Structure 1
């Protein structure tokens, strides 16, 4: 874990990409670039896969994108590791961020099920930041 006291550990966790061709995108990153599937969940246009880029940082691929390039591009949030999501959100809000999703506990995937605590804020330029905390035995 990192050493950023403001957000509780810190460091890059993942970048999220919305793919209009989910299977081709996953093949590109796994077969083409050597990323490894760490976990996946959801069905249809709600499928998500978390790909390890090779150093414990991840690319999160979401299904359900469109061929039309969105105004902000295909990447739609960046996630930072934290060992205290609530404190990270409080620090972000104190610095001027706006909470878009309050801190919450959830379980990602099934193989293995991975409990996490997450929250989202909007930064000063409209960028979406996620604070991500692995809370169970299987760490992401």
Structure 2
């Protein structure tokens, strides 16, 4: 149920982390912290996995880290669940955000194919914000 009418928001969807060691990172969050693999796609340095934290919110892990410890850590972006990506982007821009990726439809992986609508904006402090809308049968 949406309680945020400004961005048609249904709450937090995921935070994304770029992993220096993809397998070890996934193992840490699954075996160490009890997260469950919900969906994954890509190959090699383009692998991505969504890990369910236990309440339907996700940790998204990207392969391809450069091996260095970043001064601000390895968090890549934060994503908010919405039922209207386009409206959420409009609200963010009206509040001062800058669009970095226009709203678009994409399919995540093929096991099963998972259609979503996404967009990215840069917030007032340089933070990357994704608006995420599940649009198919495989709701994330």
CA distance in 2, matches of 1:53, 1:5: 25
1:108 maps to what in 2?
108
Q: TM-score, normalised by structure 1?
A: 0.97
Give 5+ residue unaligned stretches, structure 2. none
Match of 1:8 in 2: 8
Give the TM-score of the pair, scaled to structure 2: 0.97
Structure 1 match to 2:123? 123
1:55 is matched with which residue?
A: 55
Distance 2:136 2:69 in 1: 36
How many Å apart are 1:109 and its aligned residue?
1.8
For structure 1, the residue ranges without an aligned partner over 5 or more in a row are: none
Alpha-carbon distance in 1 for matches of 2:53, 2:44: 24
Cα RMSD (Å): 0.9
Paired position in structure 2 for 1:31: 31
**Does 2:95 correspond to 1:95?**
yes
1:112 deviates by 1.3
Paired residue total:
140
